[in-house]
């Protein structure tokens, strides 16, 4: 063992001397070739110890019988749990959706929602379900789901905009650009809505 270590140290020192002595393009190309040779030797030794398998893609093997990678290994939540991180798994439910955000204003608005509002928002934003899928799951019409989702988002946006206005009014120094942009967008949306409503009211026959 000591002799092998001595040989490795001598080779490492020789390579270091070649690197330090390099001055021209040809010298640096020679150094690169030495490193390429070392990498090829390392990869050859690694390949000699690798277990052989057929040329079937890993995805096909998993989908066919699950013998290559069990299905949970493809799920980020399951991967985190296998490494001892259970936070995502603990809060992976509709009633804890407010635990999945970092902004305190959004945090409190989500926490105050009703259970059915949390559920439709969780299925839409986290599980990426369509209104048709949620309607099938809840045994409702997709129109009812869309109506509930729209009302939930409108309530959240209204309270959040009010909170941001108050924070701007008292001159909060940590007001983020994202919140200012949201408030500007929200006010423009309301302005467009009221303008359209006034136009419709004016067009009604007397």
The length of the chain is 206
Q: Residue 67 has what DSSP assignment? A: S
What does residue 112 show for φ and ψ, rounded to 5 degrees? -85, -5
What does residue 29 show for φ and ψ, rounded to 5 degrees? -65, -35
Q: Is 73 in contact with 79 (CB distance < 8 Å)?
A: yes
Where would I find the beta strands (DSSP E) of the chain?
A: none
Q: Is 152 in contact with 113 (CB distance < 8 Å)?
A: yes
Confidence of residue 147 (pLDDT cuts 50, 70, 90): very high
Q: Residue 99 has what DSSP assignment? A: G
Task: Of 58-67, 131-140, 179-188, give the lowest mean pLDDT range.
Answer: 58-67
Task: Of 40-54, 72-86, 186-200, give the lowest mean pLDDT range.
Answer: 186-200
């Amino acid at each position: 063992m000591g002799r092998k270590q001595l040989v490795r140290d001598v080779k490492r020192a020789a390579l270091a001397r070649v690197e330090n002595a390099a001055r021209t393009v040809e010298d640096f190309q020679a150094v690169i070739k030495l490193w390429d040779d070392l990498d090829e030797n390392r990869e050859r030794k690694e390949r000699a110890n690798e277990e052989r398998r057929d040329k079937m893609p890993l995805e096909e093997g998993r989908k066919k019988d699950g013998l290559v990678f069990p299905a949970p290994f493809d799920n980020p939540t399951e991967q985190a749990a296998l490494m001892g991180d259970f936070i995502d798994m603990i809060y992976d439910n509709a009633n804890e959706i407010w635990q999945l955000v970092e902004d305190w204003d959004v945090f409190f608005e989500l926490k105050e929602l009703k259970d059915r509002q949390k559920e439709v928002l969780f299925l839409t934003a986290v599980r990426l379900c369509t209104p048709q899928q949620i309607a099938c799951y809840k045994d409702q019409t997709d129109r009812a789901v869309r109506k509930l989702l729209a009302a939930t988002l409108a309530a959240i946006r209204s309270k959040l905009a009010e909170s941001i206005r108050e924070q701007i009014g008292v001159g909060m120094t940590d007001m983020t650009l994202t919140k200012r942009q949201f408030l500007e967008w929200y006010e423009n949306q309301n302005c467009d809505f009221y303008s359209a409503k006034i136009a419709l009211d004016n067009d009604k026959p007397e």
